[in-house]
């Protein structure tokens, strides 16, 4: 079926994916009519899954009913401590069963949850806490240790509730004193979450941008932003089946291996929201390990996993892969970084699973486009078409003119997933958000069917003697070499030309390739000015931020005069 026919069928009046237009901050916006109106409503829906498992972490198995009771108990504690609608509660920990408890305990009473990057240093965490004005911090011991030296800089912070910690000194206190350990949640009192009136467009979260340049900005998200993803993800799954021509299967409970951090919108908004609505189970890992992942997939019959392309490559290339029964895998999805067309094919060939991808950003609370299954196999360099409630357009550099189909320009996005703006940054909000549209900073093009192709970040474009070089174009060629599993193109200074392209690549274990070989490969596919003048081989996979984006700034040091051709 065509995308248009599927949309007409599924979005018709009375159907599950029916849409309606509502006014959001003065802008008429298409929305999913049947999406839960708030995260409080989502928590009540999730409770209906009863004794099904919501999370598995090592030997801790938590049911939906136990999770809800812990949410209700912690939410009441927040209220008892004077937390009101609009107050901020920070959340800083690795993926643990306590994470979704604290998140919903805050948002279900109208407070704003601030998930902080668990990879941040003490100074960075302090910035997030101070910038958002959090009254309570819920964290694990590692994050506590980073924040403690900076407490004098946080006068608004009244309480620190710490999970899985040893001895504590005030103001830190054990979270377990309020809700107990995960195994204690089921016997907690059968109480409802405290009743607070919440509207769909009330603020719910502040997620900080990845901050690869400058200070991070806090994207202020609404309840509608997050619940929109429930139906956007479901739409993607149904659309893939209909595109294939298969009948729609009966709804089934699934188990996902979650290997990306919940403080990122992909895991929280695009992943957690839909899983709670549908009653799926998420398995958390303390730290990514390929063999442990294989063991979990085999033991728990995991149906989907993913994260960033590197994870998929590691699963494919690992020599012990065939020792494990991975036949339960149905899908491997990822985002946050460009992926090789070869990876899309390999996922299908090696695992018999279908690949998945999409495009979104912190400012869109994750999903705007989705791409999976045969569509992805047929268009492996695309991020897919927008979901029905979203619109995309390609604008010229100064944002005054929309460009025709096929031309490259800045991608603008609109829909109920676009956040309300930046926290306490009216200047940045005015620059980025225009009449319901978000200026993404991504360079992209759209094809005749509306499929989006991300070409590059505008700030990452390399201009060599006046000629534009889009990083992804060169990276895709490098990825096509069978030895290359990680690649990044950056610009290095040149006296006459301004910049020249250079590449950093990581090779698969035991594989070989030379600089000349890779340069010849690019030269055979692309114009001569796009060929990297130097290629450095990294022994490790390339550094990424928590969003999965390669930290290209860190790679520039590899091209200093004293560096060798191998890092």
pTM here is: 0.87
Span 342-369, average pLDDT: 91
For 301: left if phi > 0, alpha if psi spans -120 to 50, otherwise beta; the answer is left
- Residue 514 or 358, more confident: 514
pLDDT > 90 in the chain, percent:
76
**How far apart, in Å, are the Cα atoms of 6 and each of 12, 20, 370, 446?**
10, 17, 15, 20
Contact 556, 562 (CB under 8 A): no
Beta strands in 215-295 (DSSP E): 218-222, 255-258, 281-284
Span 43-58, average pLDDT: 98
Q: Which CATH number fits domain 65-200: 3.40.50.2300, 3.30.410.10, 3.40.50.980, 3.40.50.280?
A: 3.40.50.980
Q: How far is the C-alpha of 523 from the C-alpha of 505, rounded, in Å?
A: 17
Q: Of the given ranges (54-63, 78-87, 376-385, 456-465), which has the lowest mean pLDDT?
A: 456-465
Confidence category of residue 391, pLDDT binned at 50, 70, 90: very high
**How many helices (DSSP H) and strands (DSSP E) are in the chain?**
18, 28
Instruction: Please state, rounded to an integer, the average pLDDT across all residues of the chain.
Output: 92
Residue 108 is classified by DSSP as: T
* Chain segment 300-327, per-residue pLDDT in tens: 999 999 877 778 888 998 999 999 999 9
Q: Of the given ranges (102-111, 240-249, 483-492), which has the lowest mean pLDDT?
A: 240-249
User: Domain segments of the chain: what residues?
Assistant: 1-34, 65-200, 463-559
pLDDT above 50 (res 564): no
Span 475-480, average pLDDT: 92
Q: How far is the C-alpha of 345 from the C-alpha of 479, rounded, in Å?
A: 13
Span 393-416, average pLDDT: 96
* Chain segment 204-245, per-residue pLDDT in tens: 999 998 644 457 899 999 999 999 999 999 999 999 999 988
Confidence category of residue 565, pLDDT binned at 50, 70, 90: very low
Q: What is the CA radius of gyration of the chain?
A: 23
Q: Which residues, in sequence order, are bridge partners of residue 411?
A: 394
Q: What's the pLDDT at 337? A: 56
DSSP readout, 47-78? HTTTTSEEEEETTEEEEHHHHHHHHHHHHHHH
Q: Class for domain 463-559, per CATH?
A: alpha beta
* Chain segment 146-195, per-residue pLDDT in tens: 999 999 999 999 999 999 999 999 999 999 999 999 999 999 999 999 99
């Amino acid at each position: 079926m065509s995308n248009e026919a599927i949309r007409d069928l599924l979005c018709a009046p009375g159907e599950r994916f029916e849409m309606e237009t509502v006014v959001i901050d003065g802008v008429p916006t298409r929305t999913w009519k049947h999406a839960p109106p708030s995260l409080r409503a989502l928590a009540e829906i999730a409770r209906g899954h009863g004794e099904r498992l919501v999370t598995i972490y090592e030997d801790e198995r938590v049911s939906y009913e136990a999770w809800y009771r812990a949410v209700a108990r912690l939410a009441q504690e927040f209220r008892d401590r004077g937390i009101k609608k609009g107050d901020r509660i920070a959340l800083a920990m690795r993926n643990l069963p306590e994470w979704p408890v604290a998140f919903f305990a805050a948002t279900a009473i109208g407070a704003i949850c601030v998930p902080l990057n668990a990879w941040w240093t003490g100074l960075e965490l302090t910035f997030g806490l101070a910038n958002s004005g959090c009254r309570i911090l819920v964290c694990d011991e590692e994050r506590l240790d980073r924040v403690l030296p900076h407490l004098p800089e946080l006068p608004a912070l009244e309480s620190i509730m710490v999970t899985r910690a040893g001895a504590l000194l005030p103001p830190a206190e054990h979270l377990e004193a309020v809700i107990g350990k995960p195994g204690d949640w089921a016997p907690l009192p059968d109480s409802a979450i405290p009743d607070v009136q919440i509207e769909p467009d009330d603020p719910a979260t502040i997620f900080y941008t990845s901050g690869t340049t400058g200070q991070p900005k806090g994207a202020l998200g609404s309840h509608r932003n997050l619940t929109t993803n429930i139906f956007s993800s479901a739409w993607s799954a149904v659309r893939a089946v209909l595109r294939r021509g298969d009948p729609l299967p009966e709804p089934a409970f699934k188990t996902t291996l979650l290997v990306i951090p919940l403080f990122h919108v992909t895991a929280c908004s695009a992943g957690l929201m839909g899983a709670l609505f549908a009653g799926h189970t998420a398995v958390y890992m303390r730290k990514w390990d390929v063999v442990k992942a294989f063991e979990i997939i085999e033991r728990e019959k995991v149906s989907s996993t993913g994260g960033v392309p590197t994870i998929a490559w590691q699963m494919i290339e690992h020599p012990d892969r065939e020792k494990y029964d991975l036949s339960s895998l149905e899908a491997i999805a990822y985002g946050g970084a460009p992926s090789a067309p070869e990876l899309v094919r390999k996922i299908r060939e090696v695992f018999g699973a279908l690949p998945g991808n999409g495009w979104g950003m912190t400012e869109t609370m994750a999903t705007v486009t989705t791409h999976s299954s045969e569509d992805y196999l047929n268009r492996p360099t695309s991020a897919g078409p927008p979901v029905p409630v979203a619109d995309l357009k390609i604008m010229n550099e100064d944002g005054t003119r929309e460009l025709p189909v096929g031309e490259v320009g800045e991608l603008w996005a609109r829909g109920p997933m676009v956040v309300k703006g930046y926290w306490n940054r009216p200047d940045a909000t005015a620059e980025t958000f225009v009449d319901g549209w978000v200026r993404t900073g991504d360079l992209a093009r759209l094809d005749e069917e509306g499929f989006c192709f991300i070409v590059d970040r505008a700030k990452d474009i390399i201009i060599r003697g006046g000629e534009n070089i889009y990083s992804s174009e060169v990276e895709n060629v490098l990825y096509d070499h069978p030895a290359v599993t990680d690649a990044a193109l950056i610009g290095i200074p040149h006296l006459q030309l301004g910049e020249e392209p250079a590449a950093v690549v990581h090779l698969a274990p035991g594989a070989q390739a030379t600089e000349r070989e890779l340069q010849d490969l690019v030269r055979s596919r692309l114009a001569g000015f796009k060929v990297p003048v130097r290629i450095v081989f990294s022994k490790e996979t390339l550094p990424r931020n928590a969003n999965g984006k390669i930290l290209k700034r860190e790679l520039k040091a590899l091209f200093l005069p004293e560096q060798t051709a191998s890092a």
